[in-house]
Structure 1
Amino acid sequence: MTAVFVRLLLIVTWLGSASAAAFADPAPQTRVRAHLEPAGPVVAGSEVKLVVDLLTTTWFTEAPNWPLFTVADAIVSLPDEQADNLSEEIDGVHWFGVSRAYRIAPQAGKTYDIAPFAITVYPGGTNTPVQVMTPALKLVTTLPPGAQGMTSFFPTSGLTATQKIEPPKQQLRVGDSITRTITQSAAGTESMLIPPVSLGEVDGLKRYARPSTTRNIVRDRVGLVAGERTDSVTYIADHNGRFKLPPVTIEWWNTATQKRETIVLPGVTFSAAAAHEKPLFDIPVDAMSQGFPHRIIVIHSRQLIAGFAIVLGLIGVVWARVRIATFLRRMRMGASEVHKRYLEGDAVAWRRLCAIARQGDWRRTIPALYRWMDRTRDFGHPARLASIPRADDAGVAELVEAVTAHYAGTAAPDLRWEDAETALRQAGKRTRLQREEMCPLPPLNNY
């Protein structure tokens, strides 16, 4: 009885599993479609759309990874546009999906083979991304009569091109850089369709291409006015000599006149002089190729010598700072001592005596007179009036009489200070001469 029950239980379990599997959601399906618009032959330079549809039977949990592929002799881009949602029934199955359009601008008249490329999608109902391959396509383009042999077929109603050379000077040094920038502007044409100009290698110059820039000029109520493309390359002279950037020829097809047009930008000649200095370091090639801002640093010999001299001077100042401080302190003390001796000297005392005596105040004049006599040391120390030689000098005699009368309390005789001043000067001079005669220089030592 127990064995029968176990068998019945196993049968019920198997039937339940089979029923659940029968009613479970099927695995999501995916498919990809691609076609060209327009499908038939087109004129080279025209814009062709490659429309790609991605479909699934469930939904997409993430946006597909849209890759950017390349086609020889053509410009391929993926505009930053919102993808279109799809919902349709195919063979009784409901499909959901998204659609985007690549832009292809063929530049030659031939048959283009557009190879399949992979796109990764993320369908709902599974945790594993799925990779789908687009179908192979062919694009046939033709050239209008007269356009055969053009390097790059570019149709537009109007094209202008300008050239800029930086720096504008034509005399450079070895290691300096010169940048050539060419800007094209095409009327009524998107910038992505403008072909790049050829800025090739130049003998004796290192070439660093910068990323090109494009922009569309759009106006309100008018729409697209023109497209603009800028190509730039930097050259660096690695040795002295004379160099020439060759002329640049731009061919384009005038859709208004149905004729081939040519724009020629002139070449540029410049020379690079040898430099005695070398750059501190070479600029990395990847930095130049990506258009990063750069600067070539060169140190001249005079600047190097001056820099070393400044550094040595600073080191010397730091090393001898104690000695320098001591020297400056002694200088200040010496200057203070000299200034003090000057203030205590006979010159200052004489000017003060003359200033007081001209005022006629004998109470101040006599102390000033004795102060001057003490500081000159010509009349003894302490100085006395009797030490002043008065022979044949009326001015000195009158001065002595006036001082004596002042101390005696009697009326002092009239005294003209100008005469006394002259007499005092002459008396001091005579006293110094007499002292020098009495004390001649000692004889030289004989060895």
Structure 2
Amino acid sequence: MTAFFRRLLIVIAWLGAACALTPAFADPAPRIMVRAHLDPAGPVVAGSEVKLVVDLLTTTWFTEAPNWPLFTVADAIVTLPDEQADNLSEDIGGVHWFGVSRAYRIAPQAGKTYDIPPVAIAVFPGGGANTPVQVMTPALKLVTTLPPGAQDMAVFFPTTGLTATQTVEPPKQALRVGDSITRTITQRAAGTESMLIPPVSLGEVDGLKRYAKAPTTRNIVQDRVGLVAGERTDSVTYIADHNGRFKLPPVKIEWWNTKTQKKETIELPGATFSASAGHEKPLFEIPADVMSQGLPHRIIVIHGGQLTAGCAIVLGLIMAIWARARVATFLRRARKGASEAHRRYLEGDAVAWRRLCRVARQGDWQRTIPALYRWMDRTYDFGRPARLESLPRADDASVAELVDAVTVHYAGGVARDLSWEHAETALRQAAKTARLQKLETRSLPPLNNF
């Protein structure tokens, strides 16, 4: 009886140890970390550019690029430059983390304490669920100051030099009611990015309808010099809805000269013009008795241009009704052609190549090898079906290294790490060479039979 209980206790101990060790060998879920900091941390002078650097880290990898949203901050300009994210690889607390880093650009326009809000970013970690994970950056504060003498400025804009030009079109001073006049002001700031130039205030004018256009910006860059200046163009169109005399007010632009450390002002003159009502003759005369008796009446004036436009619209409707069947057939064919073109694109070599590059950079051979064969099949340059023997190993050592790694993996061995940057270039060159060889073979004239 004692030996039986001894054996039972040994079995229970082995089962407990196995249960305790099982989680240690299980594949852990990916962990996510987000960091954010300001560069420089502050305080900074208003108008200076500050970077909000955001780091996204995971213990596995990212299957897709994170979703970087754009946010707003009151009295500041926030942009996300179209720059490639920096890759990260760090050891933190004995754990290896991988990730990416991008920097927002913040240009404060006032002297105060800014609250940088948390930003929700969707990330796609690998090794776990196939659903995105949302992370929040920490809330930060940015303190900005103004130099002495700039406290009364509506918008603080520091630069080494600023010029402004103005155009008013059409230049004639007499207009008809319903005509438009456009006022355009272009600012050029030396050594300053265009996104930092504040807009010009082109407000409402009594008696005119105002239609503001979207501003345009551009950076002037020269070789071996870099950024020379930034330009911003603001434009507004005014339409006179009644006759009279109107005046566009002068425009005052304030800016801070960083060379002299003083406030300077640019004044652009206003413009005066008049709008007169059009005198049109009615198609029908109003009877005299109606005028004498004061009966209600309405004067209808039809312009020649309006009559032409109305006839054109009626004719267009008649043609549309007549041709509706042909138009419907054309639209169905167009949709079918677009769908077919989209399907061919998804099944083409461009999509297969991008997938191959994405999985190869992650170093996962289980996904890289099928992606490689899929791309070779889609290119039609290595036969159908494609084979590894079709790759020109003798032309490039990187291709030979890739073929050997795939062979070792299929043989059950452990393939060594592959430098995908060299293999990528070699595969592109191999596909190009195979394509040229096919073209030369097709272009050969047939042999003459005598």
* Residue identity opposite 2:277 in structure 1: A
1:219 matches 2:188:
no
Letter aligned with residue 258 of structure 2: T
Question: 2:190 — aligned with what?
Answer: 187
Q: 2:256 aligns with which of 253, 258, 262?
A: 253
Task: Select the residue among 208, 213, 218 that pairs with 1:210.
Answer: 213
Higher radius of gyration, 1 or 2: 1
Query: How many Å separate the matches in 1 of 2:198 and 2:26?
Result: 55
**Partner letter of residue 242 of structure 1?**
R
- The residue type paired with residue 82 of structure 1 is Q
- Tell me what 2:85 maps to: 83
Distance 1:302 1:120, change over 3 A: closer
Note the alpha carbon deviations across 1:73-94, whole angstroms, 9 max, x for none: 1111111111100010111111
Alignment of 1:297-446 (within 5 A): 300-301=303-304, 304=307
Partner of 1:398: none
3-state DSSP of counterpart to 1:145: coil
Matched, 1:271 2:287: no
TM-score, normalisation: structure 2: 0.58
SS in 2 for 1:68: coil
What letter is aligned with 1:108?
A: A
Q: Does 1:143 align with 2:151?
A: no
State which of 30, 48, 58 in structure 1 corresponds to 2:32. Answer: 30
Is 1:234 the equivalent of 2:234? no
Residue 153 (structure 1) aligned to one of 137, 152, 156: 156
SS at match of 1:82: coil
Question: What is aligned with 1:131?
Answer: 134
Q: What percent of counterpart residues are identical?
A: 84
Deviation at 1:23, TM superposition (A): 2.0
Any unmatched runs of 5+ in structure 1?
Answer: 1-11, 278-297, 309-447
Amino acid at match of 1:27: A
- Paired position in structure 2 for 1:366: none
TM-score by length of 1: 0.58
Report the counterpart of residue 349 of structure 2 in structure 1: none
Q: Which amino acid aligns with 1:208?
A: Y
Q: 1:13 to 1:241 in 2, by over 3 A?
A: farther
CA distance in 2, matches of 1:21, 1:110: 52
Distance 2:159 2:201 in 1: 19
Match in the other structure for 2:400: none
Closer, same or farther: CA 164–137 of 1 in aligned 2, 3 Å? same
Query: Residues 120-152 of structure 1: CA distance to partner in whole angstroms, max 9, x if unpaired?
Result: 111112201011111111111111111111010
Q: For 2:223, give the aligned amino acid.
A: D
Q: Is residue 108 of structure 2 the alignment partner of residue 106 of structure 1?
A: yes
Alpha-carbon separation, structure 2, partners of 1:264 and 1:74: 25
Question: What per-residue deviation string (whole Å, max 9, x for no partner) do you get for residues 220-249 of structure 1?
Answer: 111111000111111111122111111111
For 1:147 and 1:208, locate their aligned partners in 2 and report how far apart those are by CA, in whole Å: 32
Partner SS, residue 185 of structure 1: strand
**Inter-partner Cα distance in structure 2 for 1:211 and 1:303:** 30
* Distance in 1, Cα, partners of 2:302 & 2:224: 56
Q: How does 1:6-25 map to 2 (within 5 A)?
A: 22-25=24-27
Give, in angstroms, the shift of residue 301 of structure 1.
4.3
Q: In the alignment, what sits opposite 1:62?
A: 64
For the aligned residue pairs, the C-alpha RMSD in angstroms reads 2.7
1:268 Cα offset (Å): 1.2
Structure 2 CA distance for partners of 1:154 and 1:20, relative to 1, 3 Å: same
Alpha-carbon distance between aligned partners in 1 of 2:214 and 2:126, rounded to the nearest angstrom: 40
Residue type matched to 1:198 in 2?
Answer: S
Deviation at 1:24, TM superposition (A): 2.2
**Which amino acid counterpart does residue 100 of structure 1 have in structure 2?**
R
Equivalent position amino acid for 2:39 in 1: E
Partner Cα distance (2:249, 2:275) in 1: 17
CA separation of 1:303 and 1:91: change in aligned 2, threshold 3 A:
closer
CA displacement 1:41-63 (0-9 Å, x = unmatched): 11111111111111111111111
- Change in CA separation of 1:178 and 1:24 when aligned onto 2, cut-off 3 Å: same
Equivalent in 18, 42, 48 of residue 40 of structure 1 = 42
Q: Which amino acid aligns with 2:150?
A: A
Separation in structure 1 between the aligned mates of residue 84 and residue 122 of structure 2, nearest angstrom: 18
Quote how far apart the aligned CAs of 1:270 are.
1.3
Number of aligned residue pairs:
279
* Aligned residue number for residue 289 of structure 1: none
Q: CA separation of 1:167/1:94 partners in 2, compared to 1, >3 Å: closer, same or farther?
A: same
What is residue 199 of structure 1 aligned with on the other side? 202
Q: CA deviation at 1:154?
A: 0.5
Partners of 1:238 and 1:14 in 2: CA distance: 89
Q: Unaligned stretches of 5+ in structure 2?
A: 1-13, 281-300, 312-450
Counterparts in 2 of 1:266 and 1:299: CA distance versus 1, 3 Å: farther
Q: Deviations over 1:76-123 (max 9, x none)?
A: 111111110001011111111111111111111111111112111111
In 2, Cα distance between equivalents of 1:70 and 1:154 = 19
> Amino acid of the residue matched to residue 115 of structure 1?
P
Structure-2 change in CA distance of 1:66 and 1:303 (3 Å): closer
1:211 partner SS: coil
Helix, strand or coil: the match of 1:198?
coil
The offset of 1:191, in angstroms, is 0.6
Offset at 1:166? Answer: 1.4
**1:147-195 deviation digits (Å, cap 9, x = unpaired):** 1110100000000001111111121111111111110000011111111
Separation in structure 2 between the aligned mates of residue 150 and residue 269 of structure 1, nearest angstrom: 28
| Secondary structure, counterpart of 1:95 in structure 2 | strand
Aligned equivalents of 1:117 and 1:188: distance in 2? 31
Amino acid at match of 1:263: I
CA deviation digits over 1:316-354, x for unaligned, max 9? xxxxxxxxxxxxxxxxxxxxxxxxxxxxxxxxxxxxxxx
Moved over 3 A (4+): 12-22, 298-305
Cα gap change, 1:13 to 1:299, in 2 (>3 Å): farther
